[in-house]
Amino acid sequence: MIPIRMISALYAAALSAQTVIDIGSRRELFVDEILIERLQGAELRAQQPIERGPVLQLDRPWEGAFSGYFTVIQEPDRFRLYYRCVPVANGDGNAAESTCYADSPDGIRWTKPDLGLFEVAQTRKNNVILGLTPPFSHNFTPFLDTRSGVPPSERYKALAGTSKSGLVPFTSADGVHWRRMREQPALPPSSTTMYDSQNVSFWSTAEEAYVCYFRVFKRFASGGVRWVARTTSKDFLNWTAPVEMSFGAAPPEHLYTNQTSPYFRAPHIYVGIAARFMPGRQVLTPAEAEAIHVDPKYFQDCSDAVLLITRGGGSYERRFLESFIRPGIGPENWVSRSNYPALNIVQTGPGEMSFYVNKNYGQPTAHLTRYAMRLDGLASLYAGYAGGEMVTRPISFRGKALELNFSTSAAGSIRVEIQEADGTAVPGFSLAESREIIGDEIVRSVSWKSGSDVSRLTGRPIRLRIALKDADVFSFRFRD
């Protein structure tokens, strides 16, 4: 059997029908096809985020129209927000750039505290946590280090810099007061890497290593494209040679930021809500650009966001090529480098998760907007009124009950069959014995006529067959 941490380099097309994937009691989302062997009358469908409105205006003198590269960190008692502040565009890593901070009790209401750490814009009454240290505030991107045994003084870490400086490692005990871990860059300067957007790093429990994703420029016959590479480390200071990511059969497109991070309810799955940049794709006329007061250099391109999935290794799955977030109504949404998502998805309610998007870039109205989704609701296994079904590859599990996160219509339904590895129904767990599931719940245990206890099948190679009608299944797990 293949443990989940070994699947990172294996995607569904490479797995044979005889391979048994051990999912243990982990939650699995319907965002890729690694566990799916057959779909009949059903499909994987990306869901639609719901715009909830602005949560942070970039209106302080040290912030401004070109603030960006947001990172959100959720902790048990608060949410933290980090972002680049810069009043005017003046080149990457210029002295006017600083790193700003806000916090929130719920991810919805945000406060900019007066920290008094740096004098910026002739005042110390500001929310700057890193100032006067070019070029590191250009793209300072922190994370909460969840590695077992990490010293309290190094609970937070970040990489920052440009292609000229390389990426220098920073650390902090409280997420506010930061220091360099060393003066030398952990990832040295390079002519082949860019480092000029968010350099996303985190501790991966699935890979048992630090991982960093960053932007490179890849050459194709049709021209150069902003691409993604990754590297790993055991100590955050010494990193492996970067590897360019592959995107399968997806067409090459400019990905300005990748925003790859472990999904918080299934950390072996990394999700990226990436900024797709369309250089030279101009929508606004000069008159329209002047009317919204966008900087004259920032209306000749447009951007939106797309969904990336990876389970580690050198491959992304771009199962959904369509836009995950369209720019939206109004000329202010069709300017260069707007609609860039912040890093990380966070939980903002019992059944809700949120992510954030940098809107109105290059304009006096620049701000951060929240988008909401159902928990696990990035995508779903879906069938319409005619019905359909999905059968998994052989898997093994650990647990006592099978739980679904699902939604049906009033006329819809879901039934589940547990099969032997050869595709025959396990007695007591056939589709005919499955109790019909109707409703809309984040958690419900599947049951059959004999009950919901599946523990006697723990460790055995099995398949799941899910039959559904006018319904979505967002995730499943075997509860230990």
pLDDT score, position 221: 81
**pTM to 2 decimals?**
0.95
> Do 21 and 143 fall into the same domain?
no
My answer on whether 152 and 278 are in the same domain is yes
pLDDT for 7 beyond 50: no
Q: Name which of 462, 246, 257, 464 is nearest 358 in CA terms.
A: 257
Domain span holding position 13: 2-46+379-479
| pLDDT band at residue 13 under the 50/70/90 scheme | very low
Domain end, chosen from 344, 374, 404, is at 374
Tens-place pLDDT, residues 129-171: 999 999 999 999 999 999 999 999 999 999 999 999 999 999 9
What span, in angstroms and rounded, lies between the C-alpha atoms of 434 and 450?
A: 9
Residues 368 and 474 in one domain: no
Domain final position from 343, 374, 405: 374
Q: Report whether pLDDT(252) > 80.
A: yes
Q: Are strands 166-172 and 78-85 parallel, antiparallel or unpaired?
A: unpaired
42 and 118, same domain (yes or no): no
Same domain, 189 and 282: yes
Tens-digit pLDDT profile for residues 295-342: 999 999 999 999 999 999 999 999 999 999 999 999 999 999 999 999
Confidence bin at 1 (pLDDT 50/70/90)? low
Question: Are both 38 and 94 inside the same structural domain?
Answer: no
All residues at 6 or more sequence positions from 122 whose CB lies less than 8 Å from its CB, including other chains: none
For residue 413, count other CB atoms closer than 10 A to its CB.
17
Question: Across residues 384-409, what is the average pLDDT?
Answer: 98
**Cα of 378 vs its chain's centroid, Å:** 10
How many domains does one find in the chain?
2
Do 320 and 457 belong together in one domain?
Answer: no
The three-state DSSP-derived secondary structure of the chain is CEEHHHHHHCCHHHCCCCCCEEEECCCEECCCCCCEEEEECCEEEECCCEEEEEEEECCCCCCCCCCEEEEEEEECCEEEEEEEECCCCCCCCCCCCEEEEEEECCCCCCECCCCCCCCECCECCCCEEECCCCCHHHCCEEEECCCCCCCHHHCEEEEEEECCCEEEEEEECCCCCEEECCCCCCECCCCCECCCCCCEEEEECCCCEEEEEEEEEEEECCEEEEEEEEEEECCCCCECCCEECECCCCCCCEEEECCEEEECCEEEEEEEEEEEEECCCCCCCHHHHHHCCCCCCCCCCEEEEEEEEECCCCECECCCCCCCECCCCCHHHCCCCCCEECECCEEEECCEEEEEEEECCCCCCCEEEEEEEECCCCEEEEECCCCEEEEECCEEECCCEEEEEEEEEEEEEEEEEEEECCCCECCCCCCCCECCECCEEEEEECCECCECCCHHHCCCCEEEEEEEEEEEEEEEEEEC
Task: Give the model confidence (pLDDT) of 87-109 as tens digits.
Answer: 888 888 899 999 999 999 999 99
Please identify, among 341, 374, 407, the residue that sits at the C-terminal boundary of a domain: 374
| Residue 12 shares a structural domain with residue 94 | no
Q: Give 422-439 pLDDT, tens digit per residue.
A: 999 999 999 999 999 999
Q: Is the pLDDT of residue 4 over 60?
A: no
Q: Are residues 344 and 429 in the same domain?
A: no
The reply to whether omega before 49 is within 30° of 0 (cis) is no
Residue 5 confidence class, pLDDT cut points 50, 70, 90: very low
Judged by phi (left if over 0) then psi (alpha if -120 to 50, else beta), residue 146 lies in alpha
Contact in structure between 222 and 21 (CB atoms under 8 Å) = no
What CATH number corresponds to the domain at position 472? 2.60.120.260
Same domain assignment for residues 274 and 391 = no
Return d(Cα 23, Cα 394) in angstroms, integer.
Answer: 10
**Tens digit of each residue's pLDDT (9 = 90 or more) over 211-225:** 999 999 999 888 899
Distance between CA atoms of residues 232 and 312, nearest Å: 10
CATH number at residue 175: 2.115.10.20
Mean pLDDT of 388-415: 98
Q: In this predicted structure, what is the pLDDT of residue 45?
A: 98
Residues 26 and 60 both lie in one domain: no
pLDDT above 80 for 8: no
Q: Are residues 281 and 313 in the same domain?
A: yes
**How many C-beta atoms lie closer than 10 Å to residue 144's C-beta?**
16
pLDDT of residue 143: 98
pLDDT digits (tens, 9 = 90+) for 172-230: 999 999 999 999 999 999 877 889 999 999 999 999 999 999 999 999 888 899 999 99
Q: pLDDT band for position 9 (50/70/90)?
A: very low
pLDDT of residue 25: 98
Count of CA atoms in the C-beta half-sphere (13 A) of 315: 16
**Separation CA 164–CA 196 (nearest Å):** 10
Judged by average pLDDT, the poorest of 17-31, 297-311, 459-473 is 17-31
Tokens 């919204």 locate to 292
Average of per-residue pLDDT values in the chain: 95
Whole-angstrom distance, CA of residue 420 vs CA of residue 395 = 10
